[in-house]
Amino acid sequence: MKTKLMIAAALAATALTSNAALAGKADDTLNWSTTRDVDVALPYFNNVRETVILTRHTWDNLLYRDTKTFEYKPLLATSYKWVDNKTLEFKIRDGVKFHNGQPFTADDVVATYNLVSKPDSGVLTKRNVSWIDHAEKTGPNTVRVYLKNTFPAALEYVSGPMAIFPKDIWATAKKDAKGKPDYGTVAPIGTGPYKMTKVVPGERIELEKNADYWKGSPKGQPSIGKIVFRTVSDPEAQIAELLSGSLDWIWDVPKDKADQLKLIGIANVVSAPTMRVNYLAMDVAGRSGKGKDNPWLNDKVRKAVAHAIDREAIVKNLVGGAAKVVHSACYPSQFGCTSDVPKYNYDPAMAKKLLAEAGYPNGFSTDIYAYRQRPVTEAIMGYLGKVGIKTNLKYMQYKALRGFAWDGTAAFHNMTWGSYSVNDVSAIASHFFNGGRDDYCRDQSVIDALKKGDTNTDPEVRKAAYKQALTTVAKKLCWLPMFSYSKYYSFTHDLDFTPTADEIPRFFTAKWK
């Protein structure tokens, strides 16, 4: 406890000398930080979590999903209805203004939906928009959205990633290297409780309270005056800044540090479950090479990997909090998710036996790609090493790894997926096993089953189809799902903040104490 005393003494010392803290309650500015640098701060054109968070603050969608009941509440739409299985109708709210003063109308909804659903719009996560065929204004305050196929999860996406932009903004896009318009360069104008006032790509993003935010929104009225996001790439610098007061809020604190922070007591430490799932992907489809020297083609090898890793130990010792081992390629609360799939227990002896049967009695060497929480990947490497699989770590930034995953180079990778916080299996399994660039399974039966689940309106049919797909994925081990995350948040005692399970901190409902 010597450290505790020292830090307490230091606190006392600084009570006398005021170290310029441009943060916190004193100047009504909430400084939050992550280690990620954000180059594009717009929805659709960036898929990092930080963008998802900023999107909720700066833009509104047609609907808002309640954080506790998961019901869809009216936001920019006052009501909705399913006209038929492939058509949604929304009544549009009056009296809302964009941050630039322009009034919000049904035309803006139509323009946004039509642009982002275009195949060459540059939207990064196609799943979020590929269900839309087109949108039409069918009355002064009415919009119809036509779906390509029946897609019952549509409302998850309407209330999730589908932020509404002003209709004229798309024409202001700059041209990119290919000579096409890069829609990721338009100004960040929305109708949300905060205005995005300053963007320094890779460094900081500033939000200011929208004092004219329309009353009656389920998001409430914003209280904190200014919100500043800063990239602090060094996790220790983050902690130090939190301790010294120049940062008010951080998250993704590793368990060891969180435990220590709790001991010291300078800041609040809270843990909350998240929908984010950690997984190991293996190249079943032979995308990295179909030759005999690709060990991932052999299903005994993949089973060996599944038995070699002690997931419970990793969850208990490295991740902590509300984290749990996950057996299927989805998060338990997501619609269609089931854990009634083949499971693999920790059995290193069995792993070695399987490897020998597969023709690798002395194991083999492979690259393992990862981008996040290195200790988890290193623990995985350690367990694999114990059964003879020697791994060479290729640790890199998310964007770089994403590229390798997409082009098939990363035959064995350890990544995570937050499903955009969409509470439906279509946001995870259908994204990863639909035959697209993220799919290392490329199994037609899975692709068909997922399509059925995505497009059928009967919940029982959907569940059965998803179960079939998830079972095949678990059997084939295209993915070894590892665990669902628990996130540790740490923030100043002056802040009244409650984390939510969807991993989207809502600063617009936070207040100073």
In the complex, the residues that contact another protein under the rule CB under 8 A are 3, 6-7, 10-11, 13-14, 19-20, 22, 37, 39, 124, 176-179, 182, 185, 201-203, 230, 232-237, 239-241, 243-244, 246, 254, 256-257, 260, 310, 313-314, 316-318, 374-375, 378-379, 381-382, 385, 392-397, 399-400, 402-403, 406, 437
How many C-beta neighbours within 10 Å does residue 233 have? Answer: 12
Q: Which is nearer to another protein, 437 or 475 (CB)?
A: 437
Closest to another protein by CB, 14 or 498: 14
Q: Give CA–CA dist 395/491, Å, rounded.
A: 29
261 or 510, CB closer to another protein?
261
Shortest Å distance, C-beta 201 to another protein: 5
Q: Where are the alpha helices (DSSP H) in 309-396?
A: 311-314, 348-357, 374-386
Nearer CB in complex with another protein: 35/468: 35
**Helix (H/G/I), strand (E/B), else coil: 446:** helix
Residue 178: CB minimum distance to another protein, A:
6
Amino acid at 137: K
Query: DSSP assignment, residue 427?
Result: G
Would you say 89 or 347 has its CB closer to another protein? Answer: 347
Phi, psi of 467 (to 5 degrees): -60, -40
Q: Taking the complex as a whole, how short is the minimal distance between the CB of residue 317 and another protein, in angstroms? A: 4
Q: How far is the CB of 73 from another protein (least distance, A)?
A: 34
Min dist. Cβ of residue 399 to another protein (A): 7
Smaller CB separation from another protein, 109 or 381: 381
When the beta carbons of 314 and 341 are compared against another protein, the nearer one is 314
Query: Residue 74 and residue 62: Cα distance in Å, rounded?
Result: 7
Nearest-approach distance from CB 428 to another protein, in angstroms: 19
- Do the beta carbons of residue 195 and residue 208 sit within 8 Å? yes
The contacts found for 197-206 with CB under 8 angstroms, 24 or more apart, are 199/41, 201/37, 201/38, 201/39, 201/40, 201/41, 202/37, 202/38, 202/39, 202/231, 203/37, 203/230, 203/231, 204/228, 204/229, 204/230, 204/231, 205/38, 205/41, 205/54, 205/229
What is the C-alpha to C-alpha distance for residues 329 and 322, in angstroms, rounded to an integer?
Answer: 18
- Shortest distance in whole angstroms from residue 473 CB to another protein: 24
